[in-house]
Structure 1
Amino acid sequence: MGIVGGGLGSFIGRVHTMAAGLDHRCTLVAGAFSSDPEKSKKTAPTYGVDESRAYGSFEAMLDAESRLPEEDRIDFISITTPNHTHYEIAKAAVEAGFNVICDKPMTFDLAQAEALLKTVENSDVVFALTHNYTGYPMIRQAREMIQAGELGTINAIRSQYIQGWLAERVEDGDHKQASWRTDPAKSGAAGAFGDIATHAFNLGRYVTGELPESVSCHLKTFVEGRRLDDYGTAVIRYQNGALGTVTASQISHGRENDFELEVDGTLGSLKWRQESPNEMVVRRNGQPAQIYTRAPGSGTMTPLAEASCRLPAGHPEGFYGAFSNIYAAAFDDIARRAAGESFERRDTVYPNVYDGVEGMLFIEQCVASHQQNSAWMPLSHPAARR
């Protein structure tokens, strides 16, 4: 593993390296931890990386690693930097023949996402996108139950991600995360919607498989002086006739990472909440509510959901495990590529470059809809996974 980002004080860089190593299938051996060569070298020992493979830029890392014997060089890079840097790094890595695991959103805008899609399609690399909530066992349980028709025809998809950490203007202080996430030059055209609403939209797509048709969105900036939205709601029309809603907030006091998904079908409904990730509730009229739990070996879990568990029932398994499931599935394909075998590139268990394009379209069209008084905007894309 090689990493771009993850310097001293980084949150998501640490998450990536811990998740990647959870199953002992990879070792972090190189990193461009900072664009400052000295800071990069100072960071390296905190990851157990030799200073000789701590680089001052991703270009230097790709160049130096490419020159090493194949058995010694990195096999993939993880991109854990702010949004505006993703495209340049990912494109260079793919063109150099390295597999890529990229944090979301995939790029700064839709044009970059579509260009990166072409680069990936013209290569043979594995490209994974860390919409990590798709890795939770009960989310994968929901996906397989819906695919099997247990909820019938899908009528409604409600997804919301509610936080409160930006209820005050903390970006004016020494808060690195807030600083870049509220900066249009680094985060993109959307704030809360570009940051967490993309997760909410993606999870509904992942679980149900329903294709979006159009979106109407209203965004709001409640904190005075902030340059990007910190609250918003979108209504989505799906091609099968279903309706969806996505709500995102970063100004709701006392809320942490309250991410919730509900799906209504003609035969039943389900509900999952990220802060209680090992449970999922399924309801049908005239029957007691069923609480599905992450219980491997019980006979109640679908194959994909059970394969996503690492601990026995009753031992909480959460964020790192879900993140690691994305890596584990990508590693399977990286191993297939290394062995010269074919592998699925579109309909993968993990989110991929196609999901990345769809996510960027969602952000762009939500912003465009808001700017046109919540007008309905098309949301279908040829790259959408079916």
Structure 2
Amino acid sequence: MKKIRMGMVGGGQGAFIGAVHRIAAFMDGDIELVCGAFSADKQRSLSSGQALYLPEERCYASYDEMFKREALLPETERMEFVVIVTPNHLHFPVAMSAIEHGFHVLSDKPATLNLPQALSLKSALAQRHVLYGLTHTYSGYPLVKQAKHLVAQGELGNVVKVVVEYSQGWLASKDDEVSKQASWRLDPETAGASCCMGDIGVHAANLAEYVSGLEITQLCADLTSTVSGRVLDDDGTVMLKFSNSAKGVLLASQISLGDENNIRLRIYGDKKSIEWSQLEPNTLWLKSHNEPTQQIRTGVGDMCEAAQQAMRTPAGHPEGYLEAFANIYQNFARQIKAHRNGEVADNKTFDVPGIDEAIRGMAFIENVVGASQSALKWHNMIIESEGGHYDAN
């Protein structure tokens, strides 16, 4: 009955998301931070770790040094998993090194800089007995899980249309590019093939697939670099076709002035529809053609097991982004405990986004970018592999 020991790469002083990860990891008391390579700057990594009450010898100058030295420690002391909170271009080499040293991985999205790297990760995982998770945070909300349950139980009937959007306004002008968070996201060397779709569009795509239980099979995309001089997209619209022939629309934007992580999902069936918004995360709407609209509230009435497990407070006490983030960590911790005991520890059983979601996310990003550059209307969602390629449908 020991806490799960976590290491961190990135997330040092001045970092944007590192503190959020730590809050989420610690919320349920199952995880402790034991080491970190918090910055490429040795002194900053040391000072960051000491500010988190870590001993100097567990604050490393690089992730390679951390993995090598942690692997030499007794099994009861070394870290068990690493969380990766770096810019995109480091996700793959850090994850691959961790896997090779026998450590579990929990990574920020997107999983890698490109799709071939994601496929390489899957090959590496198949050869090592380690776990891999991806922080698609929005799947952690209790009512998102309840929405998924309603769809799976046939409450909506046959899904015919999916509309998902994620809009922000923080990159609406040239002046917004001066921050560290903006500069690396707008640089293909560190962000990859896309800014907007790679940063938030992939979240929207994952949310649509997670709740609907369907897979995107075809798409038609129009990406834009709205601000003059930008190489990567900051806005985009994608038409979708799903594995059951349903149609959909995905909107993602980082130039929508005044929008604050405005995530909204609507799924329409031939019997009923559902609607959920992150701005009102404790409310899920269930609608039909000839019955009163039903408001479902977190903690009120019967909920599915996954939703119940994701709730921490009584009804009327808002649970938001940090709690949803913590649910990813909580489920990953449960998965690691099962792995410790030699039990079945697959991602679907523990409701943790894994390498398959990582691959689909990278495929979505690259296919959307390719489709936007093409004069053709519809493009099959294609996942490249070493032996060629196959359609995701």
TM category (shorter chain) comes to over 0.9
| Alignment partner, residue 386 of structure 2 | none
Q: 1:153 and 1:283, CA in 2 relative to 1: closer, same or farther beyond 3 A?
A: same
Match of 2:31, SS?
A: coil
Which of 326, 329, 344 lines up with 1:327 in the alignment? 329
Give yes or no for contact 2:162–2:248 (8 Å, CA) kept in 1.
Answer: yes
* 1:9–1:191 CA distance, 2 compared to 1 (3 A): same
Query: Per-residue CA shift, 1:203-248, capped at 9, x if unaligned?
Result: 0000011122111100011111112101101111112110111110
> Gaps spanning 5+ residues in structure 2: where?
1-5, 384-388
Give runs of aligned pairs for residues 251-330 of structure 1, distance below 5 A: 251-295=255-299, 298-330=300-332
Out of 51, 60, 84, the position equivalent to 1:55 is: 60
User: Residues 36-91 of structure 1, C-alpha deviation per residue, up to 9 Å, x if partnerless?
Assistant: 11110011122222222111110000011000000000010000000011000001
Q: Is the 8 A contact 2:216 2:240 kept in 1?
A: yes
Partner of residue 113, structure 1: 118
For residue 203 of structure 1, what is the aligned residue in structure 2?
Answer: 207
How far apart in 2 are the matches of 1:271 and 1:198? 19
Report what 1:143 is aligned to.
148
Moved more, 187-196 or 366-375: 366-375
Distance 1:156 1:266, change over 3 A: same
343-352 or 252-261, larger mean C-alpha shift:
343-352
Structure 1 equivalent of residue 99 of structure 2: 94
The structure-2 alpha-carbon separation of the partners of 1:355 and 1:169, relative to structure 1 and needing over 3 Å to count, comes to same
Q: What is the aligned counterpart of 1:3 among 8, 14, 38?
A: 8
Written as runs of structure 1 = structure 2, the 5 A alignment for 1:28-39 is 28-39=33-44
Q: Does 1:231 align with 2:260?
A: no
Work out the CA distance in 2 between the residues paired with 1:220 and 1:128.
Answer: 31
Q: Is the Cα contact below 8 Å between 1:218 and 1:234 reproduced in 2? A: yes
Q: Which has the higher strand share?
A: 2
Q: Structure 1 residues 79 and 302, CA, compared in 2 at 3 Å: closer, same or farther?
A: same
User: Identity, % of aligned pairs?
Assistant: 39
SS at match of 2:32: coil
Hey, what's the Cα distance between the residues in 1 that align with 2:104 and 2:112?
A: 17
SS in 2 for 1:2: strand
Q: 5+ residue gaps in structure 1?
A: none
- Matching residue within 328, 335, 343 for 1:341: 343
List per-residue Cα deviations over 1:310-357 (Å, max 9, x = no partner). Answer: 111111111111011111111111011112222224565111110000
| TM-score under structure 1 length normalisation | 0.96
Letter in 2 for 1:308: A
Measure, in 2, the Cα distance between the counterparts of 1:110 and 1:370.
17
**Equivalent pair of 1:212/1:380 in contact (CA under 8 Å):** no
RMSD of aligned Cα (Å)? 1.7
C-alpha offsets along residues 85-118 of structure 1, whole Å, 9 cap, x if unaligned?
1000001101111011000000000010111111
Q: What is the aligned partner in structure 2 of residue 364 from structure 1?
A: 366
What is aligned with 2:3?
Answer: none
Q: Distance in 1 between matches of 2:23 and 2:221?
A: 36
TM-score normalized by structure 2? Answer: 0.94
- Which sits farther off after the overlay, 249-258 or 115-124? 115-124
State the distance in 1 between where 2:39 and 2:46 align. Answer: 9
Q: The residue matched to 1:219 in structure 2 has which SS?
A: strand
Give the alignment partner of residue 17 of structure 1, picking from 10, 22, 28: 22
Query: CA deviation digits over 1:282-320, x for unaligned, max 9?
Result: 10111111111101xx43321210110011111111111
Shift of 1:124: 1.5
Question: Which amino acid letter does the alignment assign opposite residue 271 of structure 1?
Answer: E
d(CA) in 1 for partners of 2:283 and 2:80?
36
Q: Cα gap change, 1:359/1:258 in structure 2, threshold over 3 Å: closer, same or farther?
A: same
* 1:161 equivalent in structure 2: 166
Contact 1:40-1:54 at 8 Å conserved across structures: yes
Conservation of the 8 A alpha-carbon contact between 2:7 and 2:82: yes
Say whether residues 1:188 and 2:192 are aligned partners: yes
> 1:218–1:374: 8 Å Cα contact kept in structure 2?
no
Q: d(CA) in 1 for partners of 2:391 and 2:32?
A: 33
Query: Which residue of structure 1 aligns with residue 253 of structure 2?
Result: 249
Aligned residue type for 2:342: G
Paired residues of 1:171 and 1:179 also in contact (CA < 8 A): no
